[in-house]
Amino acid sequence: MAEAADLERARELVTRSSEVLSGTPVIKGTRVPVYNVAASVAAGFSTEQILEDYPILDAEQVRLAAIYAEANPPPAAGWVALQPPEGMVLVSRRTVPRP
64 in a structural domain = yes
57 in a structural domain = yes
- Domain of residue 56 covers 2-71
Number of DSSP helices (H) and strands (E) in the chain, helices first = 4, 2
91 in a structural domain = no
63 in a structural domain = yes
Question: CATH number for the domain including 31?
Answer: 1.10.10.10
Nearest to 10, CA basis, from 22, 31, 27: 27
Domain count of the chain? 1
67 in a structural domain = yes
Are 13 and 35 in contact by the 8 Å Cβ rule? The answer is no
Q: Tens-digit pLDDT profile for the chain (99 aa)?
A: 788 898 899 999 999 988 888 888 999 999 999 999 999 999 999 999 999 999 999 999 999 999 999 998 876 655 555 566 677 776 766 766 776
16 in a structural domain = yes
One-letter amino acid for residue 74 of the chain: P
> Considering the entire predicted model, what is its pTM?
0.72
79 in a structural domain = no
CA distance 27 to 50: 14
97 in a structural domain = no
Burial of 85 (C-beta count, 10 Å sphere; 0-12/13-18/19+): exposed
